Amino acid sequence: MVENASSSATSGRKYLLEQQFDDILGVIDERIAKQEEAVRSMRAALKAEELALERLRLAREPLAGNALTESSRDVVLASVQGRNNSAKRPASQVILELAREAIAVASKPLTRRDIVNALEASGKAPVSRDLPSLVSKVLWKNSETFEQSGGGYWLKGRPIPDDGRPT
């Protein structure tokens, strides 16, 4: 009888140890799953940031080629720096303001691509699957502010520069 009680106690302890190991393994497995999900999330965020960086680099290229005067650079910098809260404004408002400023600074009609590049360079471009189409739509809907001139957009009511053609 003593042997049965001893054997039963040993198997009981063995069962408890196995249960504790199973519980510990379960906790570790949960933590591994959470950590793997965090890593996947970080990789996706990194990929998005790398894409945004590449878009900025691509947007910078045409702008770096244009030699802006110091005064026009100051105007562009002041307008970009004053735009810190644009994320809270509607996308159409951001597009309108940036397009108006970009055209005024350039002093010539700008193509849709020029305006998209200016938006991307500002870092305030609205998130869109097709930003060029969104820009066209917003400018078209605001025909009281913008008009088409020589394949580009110009500020309505202002005299068009002599060449009147976008570059």
pLDDT in tens, 65-109: 655 545 455 555 555 555 444 446 788 899 999 999 998 888 889
What does the pLDDT look like over 110-119, one tens digit per residue? 999 999 999 9
CA 122 to chain centre: 11
How many other CB atoms are there within 10 angstroms of residue 116's CB atom?
A: 24
Looking at residue 112, its pLDDT comes to: 93
Looking at residue 167, its pLDDT comes to: 46
Answer for the pair 46, 52: CB distance below 8 angstroms, yes or no.
no
Q: 27 to each of 15, 16, 31, how far by Cα in Å?
A: 18, 16, 6
Looking at residue 84, its pLDDT comes to: 47
- The Cα–Cα gap between 98 and 101 comes to 5
